Amino acid sequence: MLLQLRDIEKSIGIEEILNNVSFIIEEKEKVALVGVNGAGKTSVFRLLTGEWVADGGSITKSTSLRLGYLPQMTNEEITAATRTAVDSDENLLTLYDSLDQVFDPLKKMEVEMRELEVKMANLTGLDLESALKRHDKLNTQFEEADGYEATSRLKGVLRGLGFPESQWQQPFGRLSGGERTRALLGKLLLERTDLLLLD
């Protein structure tokens, strides 16, 4: 089980939005919330992400659950959400670089591994043993996160979302609202969340 909602209730002021909502999502399931505008679909997502707190009932999540959420956004909201793609020179990052930021933790890990490899050439005894253990731990984490396939994964996601290679070096700020939404989806796909919520 990834998560379970049981007897969820939520009101805003005197308006009841959700009443007695219950469901379970299992691993590898694909679930659609279907309803007219205002039925409460976005409200459920806000509860799942922790943006809102339920007035009643319970939400149970697996302990290691990683949620990804792509909310409904206007063009103005998309622009605000993607301002983090601006570098220190106030120039927008490229589409490619903005998605590549997902792998910053892996890059730091790889840098530390390379530094350890250089240091180990001059270490002996307990210092060498400690450095080897640290390197082995980092290497295991790097491999488990598919660090060696990061670049091919990134290119695959860009192609899969319909971005031609000629667009990869385009400044992020020049993308249309729809293209920015696809790019944000690409980031979520690269982060490999356990549950992806698409509003």
**In this structure, are 96 and 128 located in the same domain?**
yes
Tokens of 112: 């530390």
List pLDDT tens digits, range 43-69: 999 999 999 999 999 999 998 899 999
* Phi, psi dihedral angles at 161 (to 5 degrees): -90, 5
Question: Is there a contact between 57 and 21 (Cβ–Cβ < 8 Å)?
Answer: yes
Distance CA 88, CA 73 (A): 26
11 by DSSP, 3-state: which?
strand
Same domain assignment for residues 135 and 99: yes
State whether 52 and 81 are in the same domain.
Answer: no
Q: Are 33 and 113 part of one and the same domain? A: no
**Is 198 a domain residue?**
no
Residue with tokens 């792998």: 103
Query: Do 85 and 51 have their domain in common?
Result: no
> Range of 46's domain?
3-65
Residue 163 within a domain: yes
pTM beyond 0.85:
no
Q: What is the pLDDT of residue 85?
A: 44
Distance between CA atoms of residues 8 and 85, nearest Å: 37
In a domain, 70, yes or no: no
Q: Are 150 and 106 in contact (CB under 8 A)?
A: yes
* Number of domains present in the structure of the chain: 2
Structure confidence by residue, pLDDT tens digits, 149-165:
999 999 999 999 999 99
In a domain, 84, yes or no: yes
